[in-house]
Amino acid sequence: MEFVSTRGGARAGAAEAVLRGLAPDGGLYVEAGLARRPFDWQSCLTLSSLGMAEKILSHLLPGFEDMGDLVRRAYAGKFETEDLTPLVGVGEDYMLELFRGPTSAFKDVALSMLPQLITAARRLEGVTDEILILTATSGDTGKAALEGFHDVEGTRITVFYPDGGVSPVQRAQMVTQEGRNVKVCAVRGNFDDCQTGVKAAFNAISASGALEGKGLRLSSANSINIGRLAPQVTYYFIAYAKLLGLGRIALGDPVDFAVPTGNFGDILAGYYARLMGLPVGRLICASNANRVLTDFLATGVYDKRRSFYRTSSPSMDILVSSNLERLLYLASEGDSALVRRLMESLNREGVYTLPQAPLEKIRSVFSGFCCGEEETLEVIGRLWRERHVLCDTHTAVAFSAAWAYRRQNAGGAPVVVLSTASPYKFPGAVLSAIGGHAEGDEFSQMEALERLTGVPIPRGLRGLRDKAPLHQDVIGREEILPYVLAQAGRQEV
Ligand SMILES: *Cc1c(COP(=O)(O)O)cnc(C)c1O
């Protein structure tokens, strides 16, 4: 029983934690003793990218067998480069390209691996039911999950997206998805309607036991699953190994990372790498105009009672960063009573204040910076003009944070900026930021961006406009439950 809930109410082995996702008491699964368990991080750095993934995942998810095989199934031949995440020099610093997977977003790194972990967990736990993944998406997660789960034995996946609420490219990516176990359905309303509807259907089915004896069990692919967090630890090691190989650092030297942050999964994986011994220096938490984390790191007060801004970096438009709960637990030495209190306060009052000791511990590693809309576009323009580096809006927010940190810490460790999406996923914003004219639909903008920069459109996005849509369902929010049950071969709860 390696994992406990951050709220204290449950224990589980790694396979059970992966199958459940969320602990029964609403907490997130964490391993309290991770930092004390020895890990040979030095020899890990000598391996190939897939070798590192195997070694790291075996350590973080004890009990899984044949991890090497699972890793190969997840990644081999699916990413643009064999090393998974290329490192690019940008002046004194670096950019780690996490978007070279099949859907051109960094969520591919985790969502390519999660289906393999779920099927392996199913075998380990002796579960014969098929796993039905229900996901509500505001864009990127849906496609990455479809790409990860399609045709994976023992699983089915249904993705719901807000009708008219995702970009044309994101919609095209999803509705053209092939695979015998996939369904994609638009829901009338906005993302919140969609997500609330999916959660309600999920809870109604779980509470009623409607699927029991039907050979099907529900699960979700969202980012609080430890099976999504663990694969993200790998690329911190990949970046470090590359800097060693370049002679930019010596073994043991610190490296800082700037991370465009929404749900806090990506940056938390960096903290996990640090707990495993990797010399991760500072973790620079980059936010857009939704600066709830910047304020939290500055004051210790997490306050979601504020305006919500729609920005050009939509995957970071988040006021409740779910994975932060894991950091609260780890920084408070496993004080689950405290975490439970804070989360209740956040739910009821919309705010909590972290006590001084855990706050200081968090601040000894994390720094927070935020960046407004205008500056985001300025950063994209400047990187293109001065360095010939083309980056997307999320990555630009992280560059802005990295530079702000550098201004306070000149001559420090090298900073690696995590680049989370291809510029071609946000062609309109990127095009206007570098002085082009964002006219026509997103597909025309992609082509214009390619003509202007010479940077090739990624394989998965090219030709999307001409692909036939395979999924045309549009339903109301209240129809989500019957829709799922019909798929499961049952009419009512
Ligand atoms: C999801 C996402 C993020 C935020 O990552 P978290 O792990 O949720 O903090 C940043 N950029 C892009 C492009 C994303 O899709």
Atom of ligand 1 nearest to the CA of 264: 9
The tally of CA atoms less than 13 A away on the side-chain side of residue 407 is: 6
Q: Measuring from each residue's beta carbon to the nearest atom of ligand 1, which residues come in under 6 Å?
A: 105-107, 140, 223, 260-266, 315-316, 394, 420-421
Q: How far is the CA of 420 from the centre of ligand 1 (A)?
A: 7
Q: Which pLDDT does position 144 carry in this prediction?
A: 94
Q: Which pLDDT does position 181 carry in this prediction?
A: 95
For the record, the structure tokens of 400 come out as: 């802005």
Query: Which residue among 264, 283, 315 has the greatest number of ligand 1 atoms within 8 angstroms of its CB, and so is best to mutate?
Result: 315
Q: Which pLDDT does position 139 carry in this prediction?
A: 80
Atom of ligand 1 nearest to the CA of 263: 8
CATH class of 87-102+229-460: alpha beta
What pLDDT digit, counting tens, does each position of 193-238 carry? 898 889 889 888 888 888 888 888 888 888 889 999 999 999 999 9
- Are the C-beta atoms of 174 and 159 separated by less than 8 Å? yes
Q: How far is the CA of 313 from the centre of ligand 1 (A)?
A: 9
Give, as one character, the DSSP assignment of residue 23.
Answer: -
> How far is it, in rounded angstroms, from Cα 67 to Cα 418?
26
> How far is it, in rounded angstroms, from Cα 106 to Cα 197?
26
> How far is it, in rounded angstroms, from Cα 372 to Cα 100?
27
Query: Which residue among 103, 106, 294 has the greatest number of ligand 1 atoms within 8 angstroms of its CB, and so is best to mutate?
Result: 106
Catalytic (active-site) positions? 107
Q: Which pLDDT does position 410 carry in this prediction?
A: 87
Which residues is 187 bridged to in the sheet? 162, 475
Helix segments in 209-289, DSSP class H: 226-245, 265-275
Whole-model pTM over 0.75: yes
> How far is it, in rounded angstroms, from Cα 429 to Cα 451?
16
Going by C-alpha positions, the residue among 199, 221, 223, 16 that lies closest to residue 115 is: 221
Helix segments in 300-434, DSSP class H: 324-331, 336-349, 356-363, 373-387, 393-408, 427-433
CA separation, residue 154 to residues 32, 243, 450 (Å): 31, 40, 40
> How far is it, in rounded angstroms, from Cα 74 to Cα 381?
35
Alpha carbon nearest to ligand 1 atom 4, residue? 262
> How far is it, in rounded angstroms, from Cα 245 to Cα 178?
40
Tell me how many degrees the CA angle 443-448-452 measures, rounded to the nearest 5: 150
Q: Which pLDDT does position 206 carry in this prediction?
A: 83
Chain length of the chain: 493
CA 105 to centroid of chain Cα atoms: 9
Atom of ligand 1 nearest to the CA of 269: 7
Q: Which pLDDT does position 1 carry in this prediction?
A: 62
CA separation, residue 158 to residues 8, 40, 172, 246 (Å): 32, 40, 16, 44
Domain positions in the chain are 87-102+229-460
Q: Which pLDDT does position 493 carry in this prediction?
A: 45
Going by C-alpha positions, the residue among 145, 140, 138, 228 that lies closest to residue 181 is: 145
Atom of ligand 1 nearest to the CA of 99: 13
Q: Which pLDDT does position 490 carry in this prediction?
A: 57
What pLDDT digit, counting tens, does each position of 322-338 carry? 999 999 999 999 999 99
For the record, the structure tokens of 91 come out as: 């002046």
Alpha carbon nearest to ligand 1 atom 14, residue? 315
Residues of the chain scoring pLDDT < 70: 1, 490-493
- Are the C-beta atoms of 112 and 228 separated by less than 8 Å? no
Q: Which pLDDT does position 417 carry in this prediction?
A: 98
Which residues is 280 bridged to in the sheet? 255
Q: What are phi and psi of 28, to 5 degrees?
A: -110, 145
DSSP letter string, 129-197: SEEEEEEE-SSHHHHHHHHHHTT-TTEEEEEEEETT-S-HHHHHHHHT---TTEEEEEESS-HHHHHHH
Query: Which residue among 316, 395, 397, 425 has the greatest number of ligand 1 atoms within 8 angstroms of its CB, and so is best to mutate?
Result: 316
Q: How far is the CA of 174 from the centre of ligand 1 (A)?
A: 18
